[in-house]
Amino acid sequence: MDSDLIQKKLNLDFSDGLNPNSRVWVYHADRVFTSEETLEINKDISDFCTHWVSHNRQLKARGKVLFDRILLLMVDESMAGASGCSIDSSVAFVKNVGQKYRTNLFDRMLITYIENDNVNTTSLHDLKSNIGENVAQVVVFDNLIKTKQDLMEQSLVPIKGSWVERFI
Residue 30, pLDDT score: 94
- pLDDT of 79-88, one tens digit each? 756 656 767 7
Inter-CA distances, 130 with 26, 45, 53, 85, 126, Å? 22, 31, 41, 39, 6
**Rounded mean pLDDT of the chain?**
85
- pLDDT of 40-49, one tens digit each? 999 999 999 9
- pLDDT of 55-65, one tens digit each? 777 678 899 99
Most confident of 43-47, 75-79, 136-140: 43-47
Spans of all domains in the chain: 12-100, 110-167
- pLDDT of 88-129, one tens digit each? 788 899 999 999 999 999 999 999 998 888 889 999 999 989
- pLDDT of 23-45, one tens digit each? 899 999 999 999 999 999 999 99
Q: What is the DSSP string of the chain?
A: --HHHHHHHH-GGGGTTS-TT-EEEEEE-SSPPPHHHHHHHHHHHHHHHHH-EETTEE-EEEEEEETTTEEEEEEETTTS---HHHHHHHHHHHHHHHHHTT--S--TTEEEEEETTEEEEEEGGGHHHHHTT-GGGEEEE-TT--BHHHHHHHSEEESTTSGGGGG-
pTM for the model: 0.87
